[in-house]
């Protein structure tokens, strides 16, 4: 099930992902328009992370196609998708542990964007991005010494270093204090203002109502509902999909 696909900035057409004997995504059709902020919600196992993985090339679809900026990226390797302008963070942060925080960001700059390796401004640019996520103070520390939520912020700075047009944030609000969530929401809105399109997963529904233009609810690999946050969050179907789960707020 899915809405009629218009020509979106990002488009999934009838994407199916199967692992061994398990179907993670069924006949998924989704589109995201330029500068939209779309949140994907759903219970555990609904397919949110698989969705991210298939868009970014970590996983190949068994069937269907993915188009970004009018190009067919279905079978592209991750690094090529990155260079095309797509960046993501990971639910479990994957920093380069032995590199410093700044070096982590520099890697993004060197390989993901068109910036030159060894340019005079690269360190300053990296610092700017770290400033955005409030990590400047820890710039010289090895990334493994950061706390989990700091590592998540590093992920964002690093992803932004690749000069993306489309950013996927995977459970970026998990475990954050209400104040930090508010700051995250501000950051997301600021990024959209700067021209980015964003796709988020938000299992605990903490960010969703604050930033999203549109909500997509998944369950068992399918879209069960799509629409404005208010509508979706009040739907009985979505509630029953979450039943047995305990969303922490706002349902």
Partner 1 sequence: MMRTGSKPAAIYFIAILLFFICWPFLFQNSALYYRVMTMTFFYGALALAWNVYALTGNISLGHAAFFGLGAYGSALLSYYWHTSPYLTIPFGGIVGALYGALWYAVFRSLRGARFALATLASVEIPRVIIDNWESFTFGSLGLIGISSLTTLRFGSIVIAVGESLKAQYYLLLCFTLLILFIHWKVMKSKWGWAIRALREEETAASMLGVNTNFIHFATLLLSAFLTGLCGGIYAHLMGLIEPPLVFSLHISALPLVLTMFGGRYLVYGPLLGALILYPLDQLLFHSLLPVGHSILYGLMIILTLLFFPRGIGSWVQKRKTAS
92 or 251: whose CB is closer to partner 1?
92
User: Does 98 contact partner 1 by CB under 8 A?
Assistant: yes
Instruction: Out of 111, 128, 180, 192, point to the residue binding partner 1 (CB under 8 A).
Output: 111
Per-residue tokens: 123: 């360190």
CB of 209: closest distance to partner 1 in angstroms? 29
Q: Which residues, 6 or more positions from 223, have their beta carbon under 8 angstroms from its beta carbon?
A: 1, 2, 28, 29, 30, 216, 217
Instruction: For residues 247 and 41, give the distance between their C-alpha atoms in angstroms, rounded to a whole number.
Output: 11
User: Does 113 contact partner 1 by CB under 8 A?
Assistant: yes
Instruction: Out of 42, 47, 64, 95, point to the residue binding partner 1 (CB under 8 A).
Output: 95
Q: DSSP labels for 29-83? A: EEEE-TT-EEEEE-STTSSHHHHHHHHHTSS--SEEEEEETTEE-TT--HHHHHH
Spacing of C-alpha 109 from chain mean position = 19
Whose tokens are 């269907």? That residue is: 64
Instruction: For residues 69 and 166, give the distance between their C-alpha atoms in angstroms, rounded to a whole number.
Output: 10
CB of 155: closest distance to partner 1 in angstroms? 8
CB of 221: closest distance to partner 1 in angstroms? 22
Binders of partner 1 in range 62-81 (CB under 8 A): 77-80
167 or 174: whose CB is closer to partner 1?
167
CB of 180: closest distance to partner 1 in angstroms? 23
* Helices 101-112 and 148-161: angle between axes, nearest 10 degrees: 30
Instruction: For residues 161 and 110, give the distance between their C-alpha atoms in angstroms, rounded to a whole number.
Output: 9
Q: Is-contact 59 25, C-beta < 8 A?
A: no
CB of 222: closest distance to partner 1 in angstroms? 26
Instruction: Out of 13, 26, 67, 158, point to the residue binding partner 1 (CB under 8 A).
Output: 158
How many positions of this chain bind partner 1 (CB under 8 A)? Answer: 31
77 or 230: whose CB is closer to partner 1?
77
User: Does 196 contact partner 1 by CB under 8 A?
Assistant: no
CB of 150: closest distance to partner 1 in angstroms? 16
The H or E element spanning position 218 is strand 214-219
100 or 209: whose CB is closer to partner 1?
100
Residues that bind partner 1 (CB under 8 A): 56-58, 77-80, 82-83, 87-88, 90, 94-99, 106-108, 110-113, 117-118, 158-159, 161-162
């Amino acid at each position: 099930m899915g809405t009629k696909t218009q020509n979106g900035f990002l488009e999934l057409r009838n994407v199916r992902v199967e692992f061994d004997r398990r179907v993670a995504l069924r006949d998924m059709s989704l589109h995201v328009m330029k500068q939209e902020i779309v949140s994907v919600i759903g219970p555990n196992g609904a397919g949110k992370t698989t969705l991210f993985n298939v868009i970014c090339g970590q996983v190949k679809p068994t069937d269907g196609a993915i188009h970004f900026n009018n190009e067919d990226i279905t079978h592209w390797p991750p690094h090529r998708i990155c260079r095309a302008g797509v960046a993501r963070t990971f639910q479990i942060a994957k920093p380069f542990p032995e590199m410093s925080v700044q070096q982590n960001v520099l890697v993004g700059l060197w390989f993901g964007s068109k910036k030159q390796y060894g340019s005079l401004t690269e360190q300053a640019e990296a610092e700017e991005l770290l400033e955005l996520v409030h990590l400047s103070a820890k710039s010289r520390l090895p990334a493994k010494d950061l706390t989990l939520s700091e590592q998540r912020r590093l992920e964002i700075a690093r992803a932004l270093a690749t000069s993306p047009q489309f950013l996927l944030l995977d459970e970026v609000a998990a475990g954050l204090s209400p104040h930090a969530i508010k700051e995250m929401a501000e950051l997301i809105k600021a990024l959209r203002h700067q021209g980015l399109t964003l796709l988020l997963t938000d299992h605990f529904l903490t960010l969703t109502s604050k930033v999203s233009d549109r909500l997509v609810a998944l369950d068992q690999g399918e879209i069960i509902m799509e629409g404005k946050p208010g509508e979706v969050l009040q739907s009985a179907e979505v509630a029953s999909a979450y039943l047995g789960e305990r969303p922490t707020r706002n349902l």
